[in-house]
Structure 1
Amino acid sequence: MNTIRARKDGWEAQARIGVVVPHADVGPEAEFQAIAPEEVSVHGSRVHFGAMRAGGEMDPKIPHDPVRAFVQPPHIDDAVELLAASPLDAIALGFTSSAYVLRASGEKSLLDRLARRARGIPLTSTTVAAVTGLTALGARKVAVVNPPWFDDQLSRLGADYFTEQGFTVVHHGPCGLPSDQKLITPQALSAWIRTTVAGHRPDAVLVAGNGIRAVGVIDALEQDLHLAVLTANQVLFWHALHLAGASRTARKITGYGQLFDTEPGSAAS
C-alpha cells in the first residue's frame, strides 16, 4: 500500500479565530488573513449593517442609527451563537463605531450579553483590544485616525471613549481621503498620517475603523515616525490570538507592528 503524502489542508490550524463583520465588508477577514501565520485560520460571520449596500457601497458619511442597530439583538447575538458552534478559540467583533456610540459601559454590557451565547469562547471587540494594546505598549498620548465615512460627531465620540479610558487624545478626526473603501490606498493613508498626524507628537497612532485598508502601512510608519502604530484589525487580531492562548504564535508575527512583540498586561518601557 502506497503512503499518501498529504498537502496542507487547513485542518492542522493551531488557533481558530472567528470574526463578526458587517454583511458587505471584506476588510476584517482580508486583513486578519494577511497577518495570520499558517497555523492560524480565520472564520467569519456576517450581520446586516444598514449603512452598507451590496458591493460594499456606503454613503460618504454613515448615519448613526444603523451603527446602533448593528449591535442590537437579535441578529448579532445569533451571529455569535452560530459562530461559537464551531470549534473556535476566540471570537472578535470587527466593528468600531458601535463602541463609540455605546461608550465603554455600553460596550461592556454588549460583550456581557454576547458572552451568554458564545459557549465560553473568549470575546473581544476592536476598542477593547485597542485599549489593551495601547496600555501594553505604555502609550498615553494617542492620535485617532478615523475612516472618512465617520462624521465629526462620531469622531468626537471616539475621542471621548479613549479619554474616558485614561488616554490623552492629541488628535482625532476622519482622515482626508476619499470616502470609498476601494479608493483608499496604503500610499495615500501613509502620506496623510505623516503630514497630518505626526506633528501632534503622539506615543501611538490608532487607525480606527475595521473597514479601512490599513495594516499594510504599519511597519513603514513605525520605522519612519518612531512611534507605535495600531490599526483596528491588527490590534483586534493580536488580542484575539492572546485570548485564544496563542501568545507564542502572536510573537512570531513580523512586519505588522511592534504590538506583536508585546504581551497584554505588560507595559512597554
Structure 2
Amino acid sequence: MTALGFLYPGHSAEDDYPRIEQLIASDIRLDLVHTEIGEDAHRVDALLRTGSAERLAAGVAELRLTGAEAVVWASTGGSFVHGWEGAHEQVRGLARTAGMPASSTSFAFVHAVRELGVRRVAVGAAYPDDVTALFVEFLRAGGVEVTASHGAGAVTAAEAGDWGGKELYALAKEADHPGAEAVLLPGTALHTASHVQALEQHLAKPVLTANQVTVWEALRLTDRRVNAPQLGELFTREPIVQA
C-alpha cells in the first residue's frame, strides 16, 4: 500500500480525490488534509496568505498520522503566485516540515507537460485575467510555451467549485488554440476527475487538470506508475520525466 498525502485548501472539489482513488483501482491511498483558506478570493494577496508556510505547517501534523510517503500542496493559485523561486522555497519548506518529499500543483503542471513530451500549451483558468497571467508566467519560467490563455473571471474558489460539466467544457473550448499541443485547466476548486477523458476526446489533444496532475505528481514522488485511461493520456503513457 502506497499512501499519498495532500494539503487541500478549504472545501471546493475535494470529492475529486476519492473519485481519482477509485479510478486508479490500485493499492494506493489518497489522504486529504484541509488547510485554512482564510479569505476565499482569487486575488494575489489572498492567495499568498492561503499558501503561507504557517498554514501549510498547520496541516502537516495531521498528515503525518496518515502514514503518507509524500505530500503535495494541492493548490495551483496558492503556489504559482509566489513566483518560480518562491514556489520552490514553499515546497522546500513543506518538505522540511513534513519530513517527506513534497511538491505543489503548479510544479505538477510543469512536470506533467514534460511527461507528455509537449512544449506548446493553451491555458483555460477560472481565475481573473491578472491571476491567470501569473500562472502563464510560471509555466514559461518552467520552459513551457503558452500559445493562448483565457481567464474566466471567477472571483472565488467556491464559485469555481459550483461549476458543472457545461462550464468546464466551455472553459476548455474557449482556451484551446490550434497551435497548442495540450490544454491546461488550473484550479483545484474545479471538479474535473470525471471529465478528463471526455475533454480529451472533445478537443483531440491531452488535457491536464489541477486535481489530476496533483495526484500524478504524488505518484511521481513515490516512483509509482499506474494505468488509468479515464484520467487521461497522462495516466497511460510510458514515463518520459523521471525527476
Given the two structures, how large is their TM-score scaled by the length of structure 1?
Answer: 0.80
State the shift of 1:263 in Å: 4.8
State the shift of 1:73 in Å: 3.0
Matched residue of 2:94: which SS?
Answer: helix
C-alpha RMSD of the superposition: 2.2
2:229 is matched with which residue?
254
- Confirm whether residue 84 of structure 1 aligns to residue 64 of structure 2: yes
Q: 1:43 aligns with which of 31, 34, 49?
A: 31
Matched residue of 1:255: which SS?
Answer: helix
- Confirm whether residue 151 of structure 1 aligns to residue 133 of structure 2: no
Runs of 4+ in 1 over 6 A off after TM superposition: 176-179
Question: Would the alpha carbon gap of residues 99 and 176 (structure 1) be closer, same or farther in structure 2, given more than 3 Å must change?
Answer: closer
In 1, Cα distance between equivalents of 2:28 and 2:16: 13
State the shift of 1:177 in Å: 7.2
In 1, Cα distance between equivalents of 2:115 and 2:197: 18
Q: How many residues align?
A: 237
Q: 2:166 aligns with which of 187, 204, 208?
A: 187
Q: 1:201 aligns with which of 164, 179, 188?
A: 179
Question: Would the alpha carbon gap of residues 91 and 176 (structure 1) be closer, same or farther in structure 2, given more than 3 Å must change?
Answer: same
1:132 is matched with which residue?
111
Matched residue of 2:98: which SS?
Answer: coil
CA contact (8 A) 1:68 1:101 kept: yes
CA contact (8 A) 1:111 1:124 kept: yes
- Confirm whether residue 15 of structure 1 aligns to residue 2 of structure 2: yes
In 2, Cα distance between equivalents of 1:104 and 1:158: 10
2:91 is matched with which residue?
111
Q: Which residue identity does 1:34 align to in structure 2?
A: R
Higher radius of gyration, 1 or 2? 1
2:101 is matched with which residue?
122
CA contact (8 A) 1:51 1:62 kept: no
2:18 is matched with which residue?
33
Q: 2:50 aligns with which of 62, 66, 70?
A: 70
In 2, Cα distance between equivalents of 1:153 and 1:188: 20
State the shift of 1:26 in Å: 4.0
Question: Would the alpha carbon gap of residues 208 and 192 (structure 1) be closer, same or farther in structure 2, given more than 3 Å must change?
Answer: closer
Identity %: 25
1:163 is matched with which residue?
140
Give unpaired runs (5+ residues) of structure 2. none
Question: Would the alpha carbon gap of residues 263 and 87 (structure 1) be closer, same or farther in structure 2, given more than 3 Å must change?
Answer: farther
Given the two structures, how large is their TM-score scaled by the length of structure 2?
Answer: 0.88
CA contact (8 A) 1:89 1:244 kept: yes
In 1, Cα distance between equivalents of 2:171 and 2:129: 17
Give unpaired runs (5+ residues) of structure 1. 1-13, 53-60
In 2, Cα distance between equivalents of 1:117 and 1:183: 33
In 1, Cα distance between equivalents of 2:164 and 2:220: 29
CA contact (8 A) 2:115 2:239 kept: yes
